Amino acid sequence: MGTLTANLHLMMDSFYKPTAERYKILCEAKAFPSDQYAFASQAVAHGLDPANVVLEISPRPGEYTLREEDILDTIAREGASIALVIFSGVQYYSGQWFPIKTITRAAQEQGCICGWDLAHAVGNVPLALHDWNVDFAVWCTYKYLNAGPGSIAGLYVHEKWKETELPKFAGWWGHDPVTRFDMPPKFSPIEGAQGFQQSNPSILSSAALLGSLQVFKDAGMMQPLRERSIVLTGTLEKLLQQSKYFVPTEEAAAWQLTRPAFTIITPADSASRGAQLSLLFLSDGLMPRIHDGLARLGVVGDERKPDVIRLAPAPLFNSLKDCEQAAALLERVFDSLA
């Protein structure tokens, strides 16, 4: 239903209930900007200063991803003042896959609501939101679910909330379908996430998603796709590390810019990433030149300013040969610039 940010606002309207003592929103630093805007505007809507409300966790100096212990320590230390913990399932810039179950449990032990933005996780990594006791989640369907830009988004609410009359901005499509067309004056919500629907969805958008989901079903759903994804991304990583322009991550922060170079800031552990590898280019202005050079050679990555190109071999339609060609062509582009 709806779009990702609209759904995020709907969830925060229902679940973010700040008090004098418990009012903070905990998230990763440099979350996707639309999420940042939503967090700040929700704070303002409650008459609060976003600078005092939004609590961000940053990587340690010289590092590019968050350590699990730093997240858990922050939750333990600040938990009494946190109303909502909300992270990206997979971080859009670094590609880090956060330990959803562990963070959710830690947040709830401190009395916090825990929600997730799964835009880069759904269709990419296995998810078990009910089993992990996630309070709510939102996502889009135009990344790994392949439904196209602007396609219908998704929303999840744990069934433990079904007996709670959560406040919501109601619309007729969330009304009990048995009496919906009787047009009653009083709203009678469908139980669960469906009760948050407001208007009937676009048939064309829904059809695009349905077509993609059928392909996932034919492929055996997430388990075989995840197994293939690990092989593809692992292979691409090894090939990239063989480049004469590659710099190990632990050396990147102190790298002396004597030649064009790149590192990979995505976690090396496959259990902490999905399909994506984020390549960080180690001199100002290098990334756009590399991106344009790759595009001219038929390698379509994704540039994220200031210095990252994201490469994500998708298990539904990429092959090991694609990974080999991408690595070889990256080397060729570097050679042309060196």
Residue 216 belongs to a domain: no
Last residue of a domain, one of 158, 187, 209: 209
Query: Does residue 136 have a pLDDT over 90?
Result: yes
The pLDDT assigned to 253 comes to: 72
* Residues contacting 225, CB < 8 A, separation 6+: 216, 219, 315, 316
State whether 31 and 137 are in the same domain. Answer: yes
Residue 273 belongs to a domain: yes
State whether 101 and 131 are in the same domain. Answer: yes
Q: 77, exposed or middle or buried, with CB in 10 Å at 0-12, 13-18, 19+?
A: exposed
Residue 30 belongs to a domain: yes
The 8-class DSSP code of residue 60 comes to P
Residue 309 belongs to a domain: yes
Residue 215 belongs to a domain: no
Give me the chain's average pLDDT, please: 95
State whether 309 and 245 are in the same domain. Answer: yes
The CATH code of the domain that includes 67 is 3.40.640.10
State whether 176 and 36 are in the same domain. Answer: yes
304 φ/ψ angles, rounded to the nearest 5 degrees:
-130, 110
Q: For the chain, what is the domain count?
A: 2
Query: What 3-state class would DSSP assign to 334?
Result: helix
Tokens of 137: 């989640």
Range of the domain at 287: 222-337
Residue pair 75/57 in contact (Cβ under 8 Å)? The answer is no
Last residue of a domain, one of 185, 209, 233: 209
State whether 205 and 227 are in the same domain. Answer: no
Last residue of a domain, one of 176, 209, 242: 209
Tokens of 316: 């539904």
In 33-154, which ranges are continuous DSSP H helix? 33-45, 50-53, 68-78, 100-109
The pLDDT assigned to 254 comes to: 72
State whether 171 and 59 are in the same domain. Answer: yes
State whether 37 and 76 are in the same domain. Answer: yes
Give the residues across from 26 on adjacent strands.
Answer: 55, 85
Spatial separation of the C-alpha atoms in residues 244 and 265, rounded to whole Å: 17
Hey, CA dihedral for 290, 292, 297, 301, is it positive or negative?
A: positive
State whether 148 and 249 are in the same domain. Answer: no
pLDDT by residue (tens digit) across 153-184? 999 999 999 888 889 999 989 999 999 999 99
Residue 214 belongs to a domain: no
State whether 310 and 204 are in the same domain. Answer: no
For the entire predicted model, the pTM comes to: 0.94
State whether 179 and 241 are in the same domain. Answer: no
Q: Is 30 left (phi over 0), alpha (psi -120 to 50) or beta?
A: left
pLDDT by residue (tens digit) across 212-227? 999 999 999 999 999 9
State whether 309 and 269 are in the same domain. Answer: yes
State whether 177 and 235 are in the same domain. Answer: no
β-strand pairing of 136-139 with 154-157 = antiparallel
At residue 256 the predicted structure's pLDDT band, cuts being 50, 70 and 90, is low
Hey, CA dihedral for 192, 193, 199, 202, is it positive or negative?
A: negative
